[in-house]
Amino acid sequence: MENFIRTYTVNKKLCDGLIKYHKLNKEYKAEGETSRGVIKDYKDSIDVRFYNQSIDKTILDFFKILSVCAKKYLEEFKIEFNIITDTVNLIQYYPKNGGYKVFHSENASLPTAHRRLVYMLYLNNVPDGGTEFKYQNIITPAVKGNLIIWPADFTHTHKGVISKTKEKYIATGWFKMEQPDY
């Protein structure tokens, strides 16, 4: 059966630039939140938000590559509606033993119901880390430069594979349908 999870490859220098963006950012950095707020037993991370309107060269380069990968995904599955990235995107830092520890989906509440697809880019190698997809029985390993795209629905409930030995960085966000101009 088709799992609708696809992996694309991104330049590793871009990954390094996104980690640097996270480390240097002070304005948009905060404790990672779930739909219920900051709960370290669920999600232990430091998140930096970045926005579609950014003028930062690294963020702009990332969006260019993300657009190419999203287009490939839409073409492969013959998805005919246009998508755009959601307004807020995240670069997340997970300390050793940190991560998104509970199974969740990406559009499970009213404020997130508009999400159609999810993207996640592993920014560093974590040999004992990754993402576990519950119903697909798949673990995507945390390999620097791997960009994963999948549906946001409950069918793709997932959680982080928690590393006891390494920190993990990811860039993540969502695609929503572009509203037609009528």
Mean pLDDT of the chain: 94
Which residue, among 128, 102, 126, has the nearest Cα to 19 in the 3D structure? Answer: 126
* pLDDT confidence of residue 180: 63
* pLDDT confidence of residue 39: 76
* pLDDT confidence of residue 23: 97
Q: What type of residue sits at position 6?
A: R
* pLDDT confidence of residue 182: 55
* pLDDT confidence of residue 32: 87
DSSP assignment of the chain equals: -----EEEE--HHHHHHHHHHHHH--TTEEE--BTTB--TTTEE-EEEEEETT---HHHHHHHHHHHHHHHHHHHHTT--S-EEE-SEEEEEEE-TT-EE-S-B-TT-SGGGTTEEEEEEEE-S-EEEEEEEETTTTEEEEE-TTEEEEEE-SGGG-EEEE--SS--EEEEEEEEEEPPP--
Per residue in 91-124, pLDDT tens? 999 999 999 999 999 998 888 999 999 999 999 9
Per residue in 54-65, pLDDT tens? 999 999 999 999
Spell out, as residue ranges, where the chain has pLDDT lower than 50.
none
Q: What type of residue sits at position 2?
A: E
* pLDDT confidence of residue 40: 83
